[in-house]
Amino acid sequence: MSAVAIPCQSSNCPNGHPPSRLECPTCNKLGIKGSFFCGQDCFKANSPGKTHKIIHDIATPRQPLLDDPNINKGTVPSIRSAPSNSPAPSVPSTLSPPRRIVPDHIPRPDYAQDGTIKRILRAIPNTIRAGQPPKILTPEEQDKMRNVCKLAREVLDIAAAAIRPGITTDEIDAIVHEATIERGAYPSPLNYRGFPKSVCTSVNEVICHGIPDKRKLQEGDIINIDVTLYKDGYHGDLNETYPVGRVDDDSKRLMRTARKCLDEAIKLCKPGALFRDLGKTIEPIARANGCSVVRTYCGHGINDLFHCAPNVPHYAKNKAVGTMKPGMCFTIEPMINLGHWDLEHWPDDWTSVTIDGKRSAQFEETLLITETGVEVLTAGKPREDLQ
C-alpha cells in the first residue's frame, strides 16, 4: 500500500500546507507526534524564538534531585551580596529524603510515577504545536476547578499560619503535604518533571521554584509559598509572599507592589480582553514603585493540565496571542524584583534567583473568565500587612 503524504502541520504555514518534507528531529527522538513541516522556512515561521523548544522542555523529565548526591548539599552556587539590613542570601541546604508518600486511594496526575507529563505529549499535536486556543471548560469542569481552587486556598492559608522565625521550609512542605492529602488531593508539584517536594518555597532573592529544605527562616526574611492541588482531575494554583516577623521597608514596598500588580491586572480580565494587554498595566505599576518585572516566567492556562495555553506574560510590549473567552481558566502571577528583572538558576535546575541578589515577591491567583467578567477561584481574605 502506498504511504499517504502528511500535509504540513504548522499552524503558521506560509506555503498553504503542502506535503511535509521534514520532521523536527528532537520531537522524533522524544516521541512527540505531529511536528511535520514543509520546509525549513515553515519550521522557523512556526517556531519564533524558543517557542517550539518549550515543547521539548515540557516533554523531558528532569533528574530527580533526591537521588543526586551533588545537589543541595550546602554549596553556594554563586556569590551575591545582600543589602546590609537584610539576612544573608539564601543558599541550598540539605533535602530530606525520601520523597513524601501520597496514599494509594488518592488519584494522581499522570506524571506522578516517573515525572513524565504524558498528557502534554498527547496534546501537543492539537494544542501547543498547532496553536489551538485555550480550552473552554464546561459548567461541570468549572465546578471542579472551583472546588480544587477553594481547597488550594485552604492549604495555603494553613501553611502561611505556620510561618515564623526558626521554622524550616521543609517543615512547611510537610504541612502542605499533609493538609493536601487530608483533602483527598494530590500535591501537584510532587514529581512534576522530577520536582522532589510538594510545594515551592522561595525565600528572599529566590524568584520562584525554590525547593523546601532544612534552612531555618530568619527574622526579616520574606517567603513565597506556591501551592497547587490536583483533585477530581483538575489543578488549582496560587501563591503569596509573606513576611517572617518584622521586615524592612523595602520588603514591605516590594510585597505591596507585587500584590497591586496582580490586583490591577485582574480588573482587566473579561470576555474580549487581550492577554498581551495585562503587562501594559503591570509593568508601569512596578516601575512607579522602583521595581522590575521578571520576563522569563509567565502565567499559564490551567485545568486538567497543570500548565497549558494560554501564556500570560507580565511585562509591557509582549507578543502574547489570544483573547479571553468565557470558560477559560488561567493564572496571573507577576514576579516583581527590587533590582534587575533578569535571573539565574542554581545547579538544582529549578531554583531561580535574582541576578543581583536583591529580593523578589510574587502573588498568584487562578481565574475563570465568565460571561460578564472574571471569577477569582483562589480568592482569599485581604491581608492587613498589604494595605
Residue 339, C-alpha cell as written in the block: 533590582
Annotation-wise, does 333 bind a ligand? yes
Residue 233, C-alpha cell as written in the block: 482531575
Annotation-wise, does 237 bind a ligand? yes
Annotation-wise, does 364 bind a ligand? yes
Annotation-wise, does 110 bind a ligand? no
Per-residue buried b or exposed e for 269-293, using 16+ beta carbons within 10 Å of the residue's own CB: bebebebbbbbebbbebbeebebbb
Annotation-wise, does 219 bind a ligand? no
Annotation-wise, does 105 bind a ligand? no
Residue 365, C-alpha cell as written in the block: 491567583
User: Is the CB of residue 93 less than 8 Å from the CB of residue 215?
Assistant: yes
User: In whole angstroms, what is the distance from residue 205 CA to residue 210 CA?
Assistant: 10
User: Is the CB of residue 22 less than 8 Å from the CB of residue 10?
Assistant: no
Q: Residue 239's closest CA among 207, 283, 194? A: 207
Annotation-wise, does 226 bind a ligand? yes
138 DSSP assignment: P
157 DSSP assignment: H
Give 345's strand partners: 352
State the binding site for a protein. 209, 307
State the binding site for Zn(2+). 226, 237, 300, 333, 364
State the binding site. 209, 226, 237, 300, 307, 333, 364
